């Protein structure tokens, strides 16, 4: 590891206590000075990066055209996302102005294991049992689950996380079918058409990115095709599911249980303590009242190993940027359009 030529100051937005330990350890080794900011990055808070050489942002920050323009006008030329997801970035606005880097893989095990934890808790009613026994109520009435052995789980998206989840499910003796627009023929996974997955799965788990094609991939039509009592797990992106359609399917008993680590409008709530406020999001409030819905606040990534990998990759991404090196973890306006991109990260996107 080679230190940057001079100490660079980086504005670190949406800081949480668990972020700082590893970044504090690594930043001096890389020659970086981190300016920790508790506020999320957005058009109004962007001014806090004044005088900095770059920005470290997170998945729920608002990195729209206005934010990008303000950062660019302050002389900032790099945004390092400490996340794999980047659907919160306006790449068209950033192209030619600010390089955007991300952490493509920090721990697929962390997210896949959390997805299974949600499934197990819902099936065996662990979340409800915990509350009941704390009140010294030791009745187990209403806690009947089912054997997961032999059940069919449909996995949508078979990237790193999806494949780890497939392996975990196989360990439980479950039958796995999967859908991916780019199936890997040598993966040993049984790929099926999406409608077939909807019809045959007892459990459906989402492990795909949010794109125009996957937005509301679980909608009223998809839900109507599913088995009565289907379990749905989402640890990917909230907007993969049409929340209103999901609520109706839960109320009609079409959906048996739902485990969500993400939510369509999570940016205003997740990672924050709003316990003293009235929850103004009616859809989220309704989900939280349902005994067969388990919501966690986008914490699937939160393991020690993942935090270490996130910090290491983020620092390395920034070191490479300031050293003038190629940026293998850069994302740009053309990255998703392979036919029009001749760089493929062998050199910078612009």
Q: Which residues are catalytic?
A: 237, 266, 298
Q: Report which DSSP code applies to 104.
A: S
- DSSP H helices, the chain, are 17-30, 65-73, 91-94, 108-124, 126-134, 160-171, 194-200, 220-225, 243-251, 282-289, 304-322
CA distance 272 to 290: 22
DSSP for 249-282 reads HHHTTSEEEEEES--TTGGGTTTS--TTS----H
Distance, CA of 40 to chain centre:
17
Measured over the CA atoms of residue 216, residue 217, residue 218 and residue 221, the dihedral's sign is positive
Rounded (5°) CA angle 301-151-198: 75
DSSP 311-346: HHHHHHHHHHHHTT---TTEE-TTTT-GGG-S-TTS
Helices (H), 40-107: 65-73, 91-94
């Amino acid at each position: 590891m080679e230190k940057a030529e001079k100490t660079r100051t980086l504005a670190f937005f949406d800081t949480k206590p668990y972020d700082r330990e590893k970044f504090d350890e690594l930043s001096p080794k890389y020659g970086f000075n981190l300016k920790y900011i508790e506020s999320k990055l957005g058009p109004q808070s962007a001014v806090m990066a004044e005088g900095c050489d770059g920005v470290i942002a997170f998945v729920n920050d608002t990195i729209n055209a206005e934010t990008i323009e303000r950062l660019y006008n302050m002389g900032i030329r790099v945004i390092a996302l400490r996340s794999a997801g980047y659907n919160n970035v306006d790449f068209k606005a950033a192209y030619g102005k600010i390089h955007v880097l991300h952490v493509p893989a920090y721990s697929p095990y962390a997210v896949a294991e959390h997805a299974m934890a949600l499934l197990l808790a819902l099936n065996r009613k662990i979340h409800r049992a915990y509350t009941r026994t704390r009140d010294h109520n030791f009745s187990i009435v209403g806690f009947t689950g089912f054997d997961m052995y032999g059940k069919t789980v449909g996995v949508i998206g078979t990237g790193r996380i999806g494949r780890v989840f497939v392996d975990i499910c196989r360990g439980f003796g479950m039958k796995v079918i999967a859908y991916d627009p780019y199936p890997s023929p040598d993966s040993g996974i049984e790929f099926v058409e999406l409608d077939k997955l909807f019809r045959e799965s007892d459990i459906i788990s989402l492990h795909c990115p949010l794109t125009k094609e996957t937005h509301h991939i679980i909608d009223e039509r998809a839900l109507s095709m599913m088995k009565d009592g289907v379990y749905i797990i989402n640890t990917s992106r909230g907007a993969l599911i049409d929340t209103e359609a999901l609520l109706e399917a839960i109320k009609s008993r079409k959906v048996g249980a739902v485990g969500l680590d993400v939510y369509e409008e999570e940016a205003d709530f997740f990672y924050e303590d709003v316990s003293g406020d009235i929850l103004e999001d009616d859809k989220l409030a309704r989900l939280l009242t349902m005994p067969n819905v388990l919501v966690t606040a986008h914490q699937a990534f939160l393991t020690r190993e993942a935090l270490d990998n996130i910090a290491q990759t983020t620092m390395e991404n920034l070191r490479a940027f300031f050293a003038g090196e190629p940026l293998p973890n850069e994302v740009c306006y053309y990255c998703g359009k392979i036919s029009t991109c001749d760089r493929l990260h062998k050199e910078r996107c612009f």
